Chain A
Amino acid sequence: MSGHWPPEWEDSEEEFSAEADQLDPEAEARLSEVAAYLASVPVPALPDAVETRINAALAAETAGSHALGPAPARARVRRHSGGGHGDRGRSRRDFLRRPVVAVGSLVVCLLLAGLGFTLARGGTQGAASSPAAASGASGLAPKSSSSGSSAAAAGPVEAGPEQNAGIESSFPVAASGTRYERATLTEQVRTRLGLTASGIAPSPGATVPAASASSAASGAAVTSAPTAALRACVFHLTGGAQPRLVDQATYQGEPAYVIASSTRVWVVGLGCTAAKTELIVSVALAGLPGNLRALVSVEQ
């Protein structure tokens, strides 16, 4: 990081290390006092104007509009008139105006996203969907300079082991038509999980048959890919773990998502996001069937 600094920034640090060893206790104490003083300086709050500006810039990134229009106005944070400091006359750089690169990236991202989506759909419909297939699709995802929305369509982006622990990029969303009720919620979920665990259709993207005798739909449950908001909602609730069930159904007669991890069930509104889950109820999923318990222990 120091290879191309201006000469006046450089310091003969090795030289000083030798000197530092010779500091007398009193000098060391005084330096410690400086450190203690610096540690006590309050962390300044980000000014609202700067936060607004950065949020606008991030929103422009998300929308891709940075390639088409001017950057958000760069409000001055503070420029007082006193103290001998006038406008320094420096030009303000615009970090958002990179139209050629941005448009190119956007086009490439959209093409790759379309290809990834096509592969994902093919895997789903052909019952060949598997983690390997999913990772194959993810391999097409752009690693950088992609907007959030295009990255979403293209599939997951590789990440390190710490980040990936327990985090899957997607899951099927069933629409079983089940009428979940408060009194029988866990039993209904257990029933659905039990059928799923029996090996009928556990893989992501595969069609899951109707699960419950109480289901209003006696035919096969329709599955689909989750929206980004739903994915955020689900991973928020499960702490990043892959859900065992995400079912768009009704709860107490109202439309809702029923989400189940290995140990818990959440019922949320259809507008659930990571920031606002619209949580209706959350209950422990006790008394798992034996065959499912084995699955859970393998997962964990």
Chain B
Amino acid sequence: MSGPAPGEPSDAILLRLHADGDADAFSLLFRRHKDRLWAVALRIACDPDDAADALQEAMISAFRRAGDFRGESAVTTWLHRIVVNASLDLLRRRSARPVGWSGDPDDLPVPEPRQGVDTFASTDSRLDIDAAMRTLPPPQRAALVLVDMLGYPVADAAAILGVSEGTVKSRCARGRAKLLPYLSHLRGDYPGGRNQPVSDGVPSEQGGGA
């Protein structure tokens, strides 16, 4: 689920209802965006346990801070920003722990195939992607996750990351350059269709290329 079904309230209305005390509104908002928020946390943290911690921390923070939302951006942008910050904060706290990849495939966790979704080939591709993303500094990783993997326009990614558009473009370009050696053998072997961002339940028509 990534957006409101016909007749369902928008994200902004849900957030307002939550701030007004509706007990179900925030859960519905979370359910609506959970997969994309999870993707952000997982791709930045590069570890499902860390991602789960970051996402939980982010959702509780959003739950508590709903009254601070001023409507200056889309609710999805606000939620993504909180998740990105929680993920980077978590990595920062653990910066003593190396997050890079030694280059030895045996050092990598093996992704578990998803029932009915993954073939052996796509599982291998995920392993390559996960390993490659680990080699990037987290800020570059976050920019690539938002722009390339989730399809957010550079301007939206800049708003989420709290940096200029130029910085986002730069981080993306550097990140892609670093990923090139890891992914060159996968040329043309795309695991799925192009991802599109969702803003208040409405898929954006804009691409995310930087």
Residues in chain A within 8 A of chain B (CB atoms): 1-2, 4-6, 8-11, 13-14, 16-17, 20, 30-47, 50-51, 53-55, 57-58, 61-62, 74, 76-80, 82-85, 88, 90, 92-93, 95-96, 141-146, 148-153, 155-164, 167, 169, 228-229, 231-232, 235-236, 239-240, 273-275
- The residue of chain B having its C-beta at the shortest distance from the C-beta of A167 within the complex is B16
Whether the pair A78, B172 counts as a contact (CB closer than 8 A) is no
Whether the pair B49, A148 counts as a contact (CB closer than 8 A) is no
Residue in B8, B48, B144, B169 with the greatest tally of chain A CB atoms within 10 Å: B48
Instruction: Give Cα A39 to B39, complex, Å.
Output: 13
Decide: A57 near B209, CB < 8 A? Known: A6-B92, A44-B39.
no
Whether the pair B65, A144 counts as a contact (CB closer than 8 A) is yes
Q: Which 5 A-B pairs give the minimum distances between C-beta atoms?
A: A152-B21, A160-B71, A163-B71, A157-B67, A40-B190
Pick the contact of A50: B10, B52, B69 (CB < 8 A): B52
Whether the pair A274, B137 counts as a contact (CB closer than 8 A) is no
Decide: A77 near B30, CB < 8 A? Known: A13-B174, A38-B148, A54-B59.
no
Decide: A148 near B67, CB < 8 A? Known: A85-B109, A236-B9, A274-B25.
no
Majority secondary structure of chain B interface residues (helix, strand, loop or mixed): helix
Decide: A274 near B24, CB < 8 A? Known: A39-B148, A163-B15, A236-B9.
yes
Decide: A1 near B162, CB < 8 A? Known: A35-B176, A55-B27, A160-B71.
yes
Whether the pair B13, A167 counts as a contact (CB closer than 8 A) is yes
Whether the pair B191, A232 counts as a contact (CB closer than 8 A) is no
Instruction: Give Cα A73 to B176, complex, Å.
Output: 38
Q: Is B23 on the interface with A (CB-CB < 8 A)?
A: yes
Pick the contact of B12: A141, A151, A163 (CB < 8 A): A163
Can you sample 12 A-B contacts with CB below 8 Å? Answer: A1-B139, A8-B137, A11-B140, A30-B180, A34-B183, A37-B186, A39-B195, A40-B194, A41-B129, A92-B53, A152-B20, A159-B19
Residues in chain B within 8 A of chain A (CB atoms): 7-10, 12-28, 30, 34-39, 42, 48-49, 51-53, 55-57, 59-60, 63-72, 85, 88, 92, 94-95, 97, 106-110, 112, 114, 117, 122, 125-126, 129, 137-140, 144, 147-151, 161-163, 166-167, 169-174, 176-177, 179-180, 183-184, 186-187, 190-195, 208-210
Majority secondary structure of chain A interface residues (helix, strand, loop or mixed): loop
Pick the contact of A163: B69, B169, B174, B190 (CB < 8 A): B69
- The residue of chain B having its C-beta at the shortest distance from the C-beta of A2 within the complex is B139
Known: A30-B180, A39-B148, A84-B106. 13 other contacts (CB 8 A): A1-B161, A1-B163, A38-B144, A40-B190, A41-B192, A53-B52, A78-B48, A93-B53, A152-B21, A162-B12, A232-B9, A235-B13, A275-B24
Decide: A17 near B30, CB < 8 A? Known: A164-B71, A169-B20.
no
Instruction: Give Cα A81 to B149, complex, Å.
Output: 29
Instruction: Give Cα A250 to B195, complex, Å.
Output: 49
- Note all chain B residues with C-beta closer than 8 A to A38: 129, 144, 148-149, 179
